[in-house]
A and B are shown apart, each in its own frame.
Chain A
Amino acid sequence: MAMHPQRKQRLLIILFILVVSGLAAGLLGYALKENINLFYPPADIAAGKAPTGKAIRAGGMVQEGSVQRASDSLVTRFVVTDFSATVTVEYEGILPDLFAEGEGVVASGKLGEDGVFYATEVLAKHDETYMPPEVSDALEKSAASRAAQQEKGSL
């Protein structure tokens, strides 16, 4: 169907607006990439990309078995990992309910000269998995039995 030339021109103008605003948004996003990222993963911190002594955020997964709580205060130390590097976080205060080993976490605070991240706030990062408790129990059981079977097989 032939389009009326005037309408065709208006369509082209609209496409032009879309391309230009898309390009502008793309360039803006690219230029501000570091600022739009909410946190630094441990790999970036280990590589020296994160500034020390400045308010930043660090995020990743709390390493299994790394949480140490002081007996006489609310000070907690734990290791955050992205499975390529780790950073130790120290925090004094109440942790969110969903904070646990093996779970995601975003801490805001300052990176010390000693490489320890001194957090003033710790947030739990929830992942996209949703399931009923029975399903999670069943999954854990089947994973455990599979692991046991593998152990048997290797013996």
Chain B
Amino acid sequence: MLGIGSKFLKENSALSISSTFHKWGSPRWFYQFSARLMPWLAGLSLLLLVGGAVWGLAFVPPDYKQGNSFRIIYIHVPASAVAMGAYMTMAIAGAIHLIWRMKLAAMVMKAIAPIGASLTFLALLTGAVWGKPTWGTWWVWDARITSVLILFFLYLGIIALHQAFENRDAAAKACAVLAIVGAVNIPIIYWSVEWWYSLHQPASISFTGQSTIHPTMLRPLMATLSGMYLFFGWLLLLFVRVEILDRERNTRWVQDLICGESR
């Protein structure tokens, strides 16, 4: 009895997993589903980013050593963290595309590359602007900064590789392999400040122990950090939706959608 019951359950759950998977693989379903998410993501990310920035720039006391220049942390840390998180998302999407040949995963991969490149550039730029008054130099070839520069080149490489192929599937396959190989760089960036002697300081936010940033300064950082993640989510959905419309422009549902709106 029990054996039959568990077998039934197993088959049932397998069915629901695969049907969820098929649903997520359908660009049309994703387009309609994401439309409901978009305003929430936009509103929340705007609130957290603008609110956190005003809070951090105007209402938090200056740092005891750096003075006001520490406030760049409210852009630098979210940009860096999301640039790394975006890369992992891209590599996982690449793996999903390679294994299950899911078209949506290829679209996600293609959409992330320019967003990730921009965020990495922002992280490098804000780091340099902060480095000049703090360290006394714009740039130094230490392990952290160099590995983040490699991340920037990886993103650019994926954009270039995608453009180099005429065939869409071949491009997605090549980009997925590059994204997966480059994922090795992410733990290197994260632990570079622990593994090697570097000029960049170790992390101030600790998930396991006591953070070395005072709570009054940490709270607005948490706001801009989560705001940046949501902003990334919003931008990703936006880019994927544009890609879906472009790829499915000859299908009935897209033509109905566009003509329905223009009429």
Contacts and interface: CB of A to CB of B under 8 A. Distances in A.
A73 B66 CA distance: 27
A25 B14 CA distance: 38
B125 to A, nearest CB: 18
Interface in B95-145: 95, 98-100, 133-137, 140-143
By Cβ-Cβ distance, the 3 closest A-B pairs, closest first, are: A96-B136, A132-B61, A136-B64
Given A17-B180, A126-B66, A126-B134, A59 B14 contact: no
Given A41-B197, A125-B201, A131-B213, A17 B188 contact: no
B214 A132 contact: yes
A133 B98 CA distance: 53
B133 A133 contact: no
Interface of B: 13-14, 17-18, 60-66, 70, 73, 95, 98-100, 133-137, 140-143, 177, 180-181, 183-185, 188, 195-199, 201-204, 212-214, 216-217
Contacts of A123: 135-137, 140, 199
A72 interface: no
Interface residues of A, number: 44
Main secondary structure of the interface of A (DSSP, over half): mixed
A136 B181 CA distance: 45
A113 interface: no
A17 B91 CA distance: 12
Contact of A25 (B61, B143, B188, B202): B188
Contacts of A1: 13-14, 17-18
A143 to B, nearest CB: 14
B216 A132 contact: yes
A131 B64 contact: yes
Interface in A84-137: 95-99, 106, 121-137
A130 B70 contact: yes
Contact of B133 (A11, A21, A97, A136): A97
A1 B9 CA distance: 12
A36 interface: yes
B8 to A, nearest CB: 14
Given A14-B98, A38-B199, A106-B199, A130 B180 contact: no
B184 A21 contact: yes
Nearest to B18: A1
A38 B196 contact: yes
A132 B177 contact: no
Contacts of A41: 197
A127 B197 contact: no
A11 B94 CA distance: 11
A124 B64 contact: no
A130 B199 contact: no
Contacts of B212: 127-130
Contact of B197 (A22, A38, A128, A134): A38
A18 B184 contact: yes
A10 B198 CA distance: 38
Given A98-B136, A131-B217, A132-B64, 19 more contacts: A1-B13, A7-B99, A10-B98, A10-B99, A11-B95, A11-B99, A18-B180, A21-B180, A25-B188, A36-B196, A38-B197, A95-B136, A97-B136, A106-B135, A124-B135, A125-B135, A131-B64, A132-B214, A133-B63
